Amino acid sequence: MTIRIQNDEPSVTDTLDRGRFAKGLVRVIETCDTPLVIGLYGTWGIGKTSLMRQIEEMLAATSTVRTIWFDPWQHQFDEDPAIALLHTMVDQLGLGDEAKKLLTVIAAALGSILLKASTTLSTTEIQELGERYEQERFQIREKQIRLRQYFSELIARASKFAQHRLVFFIDDLDRCVPELILKVLESLKLYLNLPGCVYVIGVDRSALECSIRQKYKDLDIREADYLDKIVQLPFTIPPIAGESMSKFIAPLLPPQLKEAHDLLVRGLGDNPRQVKRFVNALVLNHELASEMFGNQYRPKMLAGILLVQYRQQELYRAAVIDSEVLVAAATGGESAKRFEEQINRDPRLADVIRLAGFDDPARSVLTFICQKLRPSDKSHLMCLCRVQASTK
């Protein structure tokens, strides 16, 4: 039988009932005054990229915008992320040679050599081109104003070419080094804050704030104030409702593990990436348990043990040594007293212990397997075996 292991790729399929969020954000993007920066905030694995991909797909069906997808993490060793973003725009929109020449001039003005590998011009020629351009058109203007005009001209050229407003999706910003994170944010404010543009940033807000604190630790700058100057529309992705998580988990489980469905819904929380990783581990361990025990074990107990490991390492380690700890935890026995405080602080863990069946008087007796166990066997499969072989 094929073992189904889930990958970690984002999806445009709305498996988490977030279509309503995507539709609302699409309406904002299509009708808002520009420029606008939208911050999609959420923790690692909560589904930011998938939501952005859904928005991108909905926008592709309209006639009012063109989208550009930019992953700064892939450019974090480039000298300037603003150039990398514009280079991505030129490539994805298929702009002509004039736009590429203007992008080269911008790179020269910023002192960037990003385009050296992708044009026929040498670094010296780029610098000379930039100097001539400056002498002809921007001799008396300070550098920042000149650069903003360069950017504005290129964006205007792109908007005219596309005949739409431009929507930039900036993903995985929180995976970048702090210096690059702030360069991207500051570029949005200094150079890219231009009419006709909407920027959608998918990021963990706590990572942004950490980068701000790190750079400005000697200055009296509040992280929230800094972000408010750049992000005009913050949107924190809401937690996944229990019903939505139930629908999300159900198709991930093979038929032999369906009895663990409700236990997983209660025990796993609301992070889709963590859910997939856990289900992958459960599927693999189910195959191993089936090899060891045949049909003489209960998958729900295996799921329960893995959930204890996921939520409370100390209790899990104790259970590996003495499986009666889980039985005691489910029945209020003395051997689980030292874990009582941790269990009470985590309602999900308490429900896992209650729902996993550790207190079931009908659990299978696998004494013949227990007799073969060595003291050094410390896996959750051995723990499963010991739980099932415990006396009533």
* 362 CB-contact burial (10 Å; exposed 0-12 / middle 13-18 / buried 19+): exposed
The mean pLDDT value of the chain amounts to 78
Identify the CA nearest to 25 among candidates 53, 63, 66.
53
pLDDT at 114 over 50: no
Please report, as a single letter, which amino acid is at residue 41.
Y
Alpha helix segments (H runs only) across the chain: 19-31, 48-60, 81-93, 97-109, 123-137, 143-162, 178-190, 205-215, 223-228, 242-249, 261-267, 272-293, 299-311, 313-321, 324-331, 340-345, 347-355, 367-370, 380-389
More confident call, 233 vs 17: 233
Q: What is the pLDDT of residues 216-236, one digit of tens each?
A: 877 777 888 888 888 999 999
70: helix, strand or coil: strand
The two tokens of residue 88 are 């991505």
Identify the CA nearest to 340 among candidates 357, 332, 348.
332
156: helix, strand or coil: helix
Four-residue CA torsion sign, 10, 14, 16, 17: positive
User: CA–CA distance from 291 to each of 94, 277, 323, 389 (Å)?
Assistant: 55, 22, 21, 17
**Residue percentage of the chain with pLDDT more than 70:** 77
In this structure, of 18-27, 52-61, 313-322, the range with the lowest mean pLDDT score is 313-322
Cβ atoms of 315 and 36 within 8 Å: the answer is no
For residue 191, the number of C-alpha atoms closer than 13 Å in the C-beta half-sphere is 24
Q: How confident is the model at residue 165 (pLDDT cuts 50, 70, 90)?
A: confident
Highest mean pLDDT among 204-218, 342-356, 358-372: 342-356
In this structure, of 63-72, 152-161, 320-329, the range with the lowest mean pLDDT score is 152-161
State the pLDDT at residue 168: 93
Whole-number Å distance between alpha carbons of 9 and 14: 14
Mean pLDDT of all residues in 142-163: 68
Whole-number Å distance between alpha carbons of 342 and 122: 64
Cβ atoms of 249 and 283 within 8 Å: the answer is no
pLDDT at 120 over 80: no
Q: What is the pLDDT of residues 309-344, one digit of tens each?
A: 899 888 888 887 777 788 888 887 787 788 888 888
361: helix, strand or coil: coil
pLDDT at 370 over 60: no
Residue 210 is given by DSSP the state: H
Please report, as a single letter, which amino acid is at residue 143.
K
Whole-number Å distance between alpha carbons of 392 and 206: 49
More confident call, 150 vs 15: 15
State the pLDDT at residue 126: 56
Q: What contacts 125, CB < 8 A, 6 or more positions away?
A: none
The CA radius of gyration of the chain, in Å to the nearest whole number, is 28
Please report, as a single letter, which amino acid is at residue 125.
E
Q: What contacts 167, CB < 8 A, 6 or more positions away?
A: 29, 56, 59, 65, 66, 67, 68, 197, 198, 199, 200
The two tokens of residue 218 are 């000697």
Mean pLDDT of all residues in 17-22: 90
229: helix, strand or coil: coil
Q: In this structure, are strands 65-70 and 165-170 parallel, antiparallel, or unpaired?
A: parallel
Q: What is the pLDDT of residues 263-318, one digit of tens each?
A: 999 999 888 989 999 999 999 888 888 877 777 678 888 899 899 989 988 888 88
Four-residue CA torsion sign, 305, 309, 311, 313: positive
pLDDT at 373 over 50: no
Q: Give me the residue spans of the domains in the chain.
A: 19-236, 242-389
pLDDT at 9 over 70: yes
User: What topology is assigned to 19-236 in CATH?
Assistant: Rossmann fold (3.40.50)
Backbone φ, ψ for residue 198 (5° rounding)? -125, 135
pLDDT at 33 over 80: yes
367: helix, strand or coil: helix
The two tokens of residue 12 are 């445009």
State the pLDDT at residue 253: 92
Q: In this structure, are strands 36-41 and 65-70 parallel, antiparallel, or unpaired?
A: unpaired
Q: How confident is the model at residue 392 (pLDDT cuts 50, 70, 90)?
A: very low
The two tokens of residue 234 are 């913050």
